[in-house]
Copies of this chain bind each other. A is one copy, B any other.
Amino acid sequence: MPPLRRLDVVLDSVKRLQRIGATANLLNLLQKQHPADLAEVLGDLRPLERRSAFETLLGHNSRLAMEALTELDREVGAALLVDRPAEELARLFPVLPSDDAAALIDQLPEELSASVLELMRQKESGEVQHLLEYEDRTAGRIMNPEVFALSEDLTAGEAIQALQGSRDVEMVFYLYVVDERRHLVGVVSLRRLLLVSPETPLKRIMTTELIRARVDTDQEDVAREVADYNLLAIPVVDGENKLAGIITVDDVIDVIKDEATEDILRLAGVSADEHVATSPFEAWRKRLPWLAVNLATAALAALVVQRFEATIDRVVALAAFMTIVASMGGNAATQTLTVIVRGIALGELTWGNTRRALGKETLVGLANGLVFGAAGAGIAWWVVGNPYFGGILALAMVINLIVAAFAATLIPISLRALKVDPALASAVFITTLTDVFGFFAFLGLATFFIRYL
């Protein structure tokens, strides 16, 4: 066992203090934690303990409790809020940055979120509601609308004063410059402000060529820009180039992690939003459709085998060796599929090099088919004692590995062209395809050359 981490110690203490009912001590311990640590501890508690710890904290330090909530898995976080009255929620959410509040409210049942938003609108800004009007997974949805902007008519000294007067703006390091109608016209770094004399006009020191996102830009594209250009934040503008918000690098990290998780899970035929902490019932419900698809496609493969029952009846060793052809095809296809899907996600696979990628995969498939076809043929010859049997296995393997390479390259690329997530071409479909083709090629060849077997 690895050594205990500090948070494991905190977790054990929380459990112990809850058991003996030492609420004051518990509160004291919880209040000392960073929101991210609190979220981890809460996530590790059982649902009832979690609710009790959260409510203890909420009663005394609602800001910290809500901040911890935003760091929790969203489903888990929303579950802790779902049975509180709308009035209380409308009072709690405004302590959070609008983007975090919007993400949480979006997870609540529709009726509850509608009344919370209505109550919040009566009282304060409609910013949260505004954010929720953008499409899911766009820059508008994840941006923080509370962006600090300077008028282009200011001097460096006035800009520093304005900055000193501002509060509660999310991590300021780029200062965006706008004209009188709030069009984004430039950017100045905080560091640059310090290096010039106070009378210098912002117009003279700002950079006018700046990378920006539009409210409807896909969040994945935003993340790629921030990562490629090593930015700390990216400004978001509306259709008229008016500054609408800012996306900071910490939000981009979340997007990058989420998109990677989504790809990994989808490739395996799991919903993008399943986590270790998802309840067994939920997990079962979410995986069911994929397995149902697999049952249907596996039945299709079985049907192919059934067509050749007469052949298997005559040469029963075919039943054992057909599984090797299918298995090799499935694994080779999974390799190709994964390289292609990841290449698309990382932006490595462009329209320019698609044909080259297909050529590469076909070559690799052919080479693997020859090597493993020969090896498989050797095994089959040795076990069954018939060189023709081995030859048929080798030929089937070559055919199946080339089919695998073609399908696993072309299917995700075509999905992308249709603007469907390429990761949905999951292993479920591709391996069935190679099963069907593998069985068909091997048993078909065996039927054709049955007199040599």
Q: Which residues of B contact A306 (CB under 8 A)?
A: 317, 320, 383
The residue that A291 contacts in the complex, of B264, B323, B332, with Cβ under 8 A, is B332
Pairwise interchain contact B368-A284, C-beta atoms closer than 8 A:
yes
Report how far A435 CA is from B325 CA in the complex, Å.
13
Q: At the interface with chain B, which of A56-64, A237-245, A343-351, A445-453? A: A343-351
Within the complex, the shortest CB–CB distance from A95 to chain B, in Å, comes to 17
- Does A172 sit within 8 A of B, measured CB to CB? yes
In chain A between 270 and 311, which residues have their CB closer than 8 angstroms to a CB of chain B?
A: 270, 274-280, 283-284, 287-288, 290-292, 294-295, 298-299, 301-303, 305-306, 309
Report how far A228 CA is from B7 CA in the complex, Å.
13
Q: Would A164 and B194 be within 8 Å (CB), given that A327-B298, A350-B8 are in contact?
A: yes
Report how far A1 CA is from B231 CA in the complex, Å.
30
Q: Which residues of B contact A327 (CB under 8 A)?
A: 294, 298, 301, 431-432, 435
Q: Which residues of B contact A427 (CB under 8 A)?
A: 268, 331, 334, 427
Report how far A284 CA is from B360 CA in the complex, Å.
9
The residue that A276 contacts in the complex, of B276, B317, B357, with Cβ under 8 A, is B357
- Does A321 sit within 8 A of B, measured CB to CB? yes
Pairwise interchain contact A316-B312, C-beta atoms closer than 8 A:
yes
- Does A415 sit within 8 A of B, measured CB to CB? no
Report how far A379 CA is from B298 CA in the complex, Å.
12
Report how far A71 CA is from B227 CA in the complex, Å.
11
Report how far A330 CA is from B430 CA in the complex, Å.
13
Pairwise interchain contact A379-B348, C-beta atoms closer than 8 A:
no
Within the complex, the shortest CB–CB distance from A210 to chain B, in Å, comes to 12
Within the complex, the shortest CB–CB distance from A281 to chain B, in Å, comes to 8
Kindly report which residue of chain B lies nearest to residue A160, judged by CB atoms. B194
- Does A340 sit within 8 A of B, measured CB to CB? yes
Q: Interface of chain A, helix or strand or loop or mixed? A: helix
* A408-423 near B? 1/0 per residue, CB < 8 Å: 0000000001000000
Q: Which residues of B contact A96 (CB under 8 A)?
A: none
Number of identical protomers: 2
Pairwise interchain contact B320-A303, C-beta atoms closer than 8 A:
yes
Q: Besides A280-B363, A291-B332, 14 other CB < 8 A contacts?
A: A2-B417, A71-B228, A73-B348, A173-B190, A257-B346, A265-B338, A267-B267, A277-B348, A279-B360, A287-B335, A295-B324, A301-B327, A323-B326, A427-B427
Task: List chain A positions with a Cβ less than 8 A from chain B.
Answer: 1-2, 8, 11, 34, 36-37, 40, 43-44, 71, 73, 160, 163-164, 171-173, 190-191, 194-195, 226-232, 249-250, 252-254, 256-257, 260-261, 263-265, 267-270, 274-280, 283-284, 287-288, 290-292, 294-295, 298-299, 301-303, 305-306, 309, 312-313, 316-324, 326-328, 330-332, 334-335, 337-343, 346-353, 357, 359-360, 363-364, 367-368, 371-372, 375-376, 379, 383, 417, 427-428, 431-432, 435, 439
Return 30 A-B CB contacts under 8 Å, by A number. A2-B417, A36-B229, A37-B228, A160-B194, A171-B232, A173-B232, A227-B250, A249-B249, A252-B253, A257-B346, A261-B342, A264-B264, A265-B339, A267-B338, A269-B335, A276-B343, A278-B360, A284-B367, A292-B375, A295-B372, A295-B375, A302-B321, A305-B320, A305-B323, A312-B316, A312-B319, A318-B319, A319-B319, A327-B431, A330-B431
